[in-house]
């Protein structure tokens, strides 16, 4: 039975290589989700090919909607709003989702909500337990490495950010250097699981700032493998993956601890967001840290760490409550920094 006061949001995600549509009730109760991944196709090319991605989104999005509606046993008429990832990501993919959302919004006369992909990763945590503010959000994704204080919905203060490469980017680069197949991050983790920490790599930014810097570590991996190659030596891929992962993850955990130490008693919980939160070593080390620090931690289950529309429908709920709607002039944006301060918006 659909109750009038409940809010059903249909979310659409197509910013990379997953075409996904979901319906979520009241920002946290998943009704149904369909995710169609293109991973096997892009794996043939060693990475996401933007033109192929957007063509596949175009070909599949209607079918994904049909499948979702069948699973949800609902019609588009029954939802209260249409939300879509409008930034950041591959422009061609974003365009498909945004134009599709506009058509649904127009035809079914539903408000349109433009949701940021990173908001999605953050609000995926609502599927586990409702966010409790103020909280410390650790955002570790392909484009972000951030420690953020959230005092309320869409209210944040950046405590630390990356000075150069994002952590996901580093995992992907290291995967390429090691010659591992796409997708990079998960494969570095797989190799790391079978290796030992036997290489010497520099620790990133050994100071008390909450900012991150991973480019030195990344370059060290690149240089080391080139040097070994030039000397005709084979790199021990498993060990190098393990050494890199240990150092990168330990740095993230150290900075998270620093943030907790520098803001004693300020946070009700720590939440983790972004694709890199799928990393098992990071998950277990953060859980250990929060246990020691006696603070609640929330990390989304693995299926909500990778790209999905469930998280977009969750993140759109506070926007719906605020009446933060878009009109048909909404444009997809390949780049847009999420944590803008209020006066920049
Ligand atoms: O959050 P996300 O979808 O990126 C952005 O939205 O920007 O995350 C994708 C990133 C990729 O860099 C991918 O390699 C990384 O998350 N990733 C991982 C793992 N799974 C995905 N990195 C390390 N270990 C993993 N298991
Ligand atoms: Zn993502």
* pLDDT over 70, % of the chain: 97
Q: Where are the alpha helices (DSSP H) in 162-231?
A: 167-177, 184-193, 215-230
Sequence-ordered list of residues with C-beta below 8 angstroms from that of 107, at least 6 positions apart, any chain = none
Work out the pLDDT band at 3, boundaries 50, 70, 90: low
**Substitution site in 35, 192, 275, 283 for ligand 1 pocket (most atoms within 8 Å of beta carbon):** 275
- How would DSSP label each residue in 76-138? GGG-SEEEEEEESS-HHHHHHHHHHHHHHHHHHT--EEEEEHHHHHHHGGGGTS---SSEEEE
3 state SS of 315: helix
Higher pLDDT, 102 or 162: 102
Ligand 1 atom closest to the Cα of residue 166 is 12
In the structure, ligand 2 is a single-atom ion and the residues with CB under 5 Å from it are 307
Per-residue pLDDT reduced to its tens digit, 321-334: 999 999 999 999 99
* Cα separation values, 322 from 83, 115, 154, Å: 14, 13, 11
Ligand 1 atom closest to the Cα of residue 15 is 6
Q: Is the CB of 186 under 6 A from ligand 1?
A: yes
Nearest CA to ligand 1 atom 22: 185
- Taking alpha carbons only, the member of 192, 193, 175 closest to residue 184 is 175
Phi and psi (nearest 5°) for 171?
-60, -45
The structure tokens 């009704």 sit at 31
Per-residue pLDDT reduced to its tens digit, 202-250: 988 668 899 999 999 999 999 999 999 899 999 999 999 999 999 999 9
CA of 206 to the centre of ligand 1 (A): 24
3 state SS of 30: strand
Nearest CA to ligand 1 atom 23: 185
Q: Is the CB of 187 under 6 A from ligand 1?
A: no
Phi and psi (nearest 5°) for 312?
-70, -45
**Residue 73 above 80 pLDDT?**
yes
Per-residue pLDDT reduced to its tens digit, 97-156: 999 999 999 999 999 999 999 999 999 999 999 999 999 999 999 989 999 999 999 999
Q: In the 8-state DSSP scheme, what is residue 162?
A: B
Q: Is the CB of 120 under 6 A from ligand 1?
A: no
Work out the pLDDT band at 340, boundaries 50, 70, 90: confident
Neighbours of 148 (CB within 10 A): 23
**Residue 345 above 60 pLDDT?**
no
**Residue 343 above 90 pLDDT?**
no
């Amino acid at each position: 039975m659909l109750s009038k006061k409940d809010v059903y949001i249909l979310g659409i995600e197509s910013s990379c290589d997953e075409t996904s549509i979901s319906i979520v009730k009241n920002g946290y109760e998943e009704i149904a989700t369909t995710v169609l991944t293109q991973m096997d196709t892009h794996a043939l090319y060693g990475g996401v090919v933007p033109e192929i991605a957007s063509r596949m989104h175009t070909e599949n999005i209607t079918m994904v909607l049909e499948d979702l509606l069948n699973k949800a046993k609902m019609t588009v008429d029954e939802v209260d709003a249409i939300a879509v990832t409008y930034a950041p990501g591959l422009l061609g993919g974003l365009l498909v989702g945004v134009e599709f959302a506009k058509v649904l919004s127009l035809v079914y006369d539903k408000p349109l909500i433009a949701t940021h992909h990173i908001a999605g990763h953050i609000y995926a945590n609502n599927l586990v337990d409702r966010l409790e503010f103020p909280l410390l959000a650790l955002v570790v994704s392909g484009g972000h490495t951030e420690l953020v204080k959230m005092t309320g919905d869409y209210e944040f203060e950046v405590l630390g950010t990356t000075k150069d490469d994002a952590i996901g980017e580093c995992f992907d680069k290291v995967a390429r250097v090691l010659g591992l197949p796409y997708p990079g991050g998960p494969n570095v983790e797989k190799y790391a699981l079978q290796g030992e920490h036997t290489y010497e790599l520099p620790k990133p930014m050994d100071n008390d700032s909450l900012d991150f810097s991973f480019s030195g570590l990344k370059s060290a991996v690149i240089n080391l493998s080139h040097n070994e190659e030039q000397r005709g030596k084979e790199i021990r891929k498993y060990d190098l993956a393990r050494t890199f992962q240990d150092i990168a993850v330990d740095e993230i955990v150290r900075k998270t601890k620093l943030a907790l130490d520098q803001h004693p008693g300020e946070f009700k919980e720590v939440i983790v967001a972004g694709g890199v939160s799928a990393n098992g070593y990071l998950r277990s080390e953060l859980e250990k840290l929060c246990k020691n620090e006696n603070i609640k931690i929330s990390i989304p289950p693995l299926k909500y760490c990778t790209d999905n529309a469930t998280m977009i429908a969750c993140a759109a709920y506070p926007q719906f409550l605020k009446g933060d709607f878009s009109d048909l002039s909404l444009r997809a944006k390949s780049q847009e920094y999420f944590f803008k301060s209020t006066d920049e918006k």
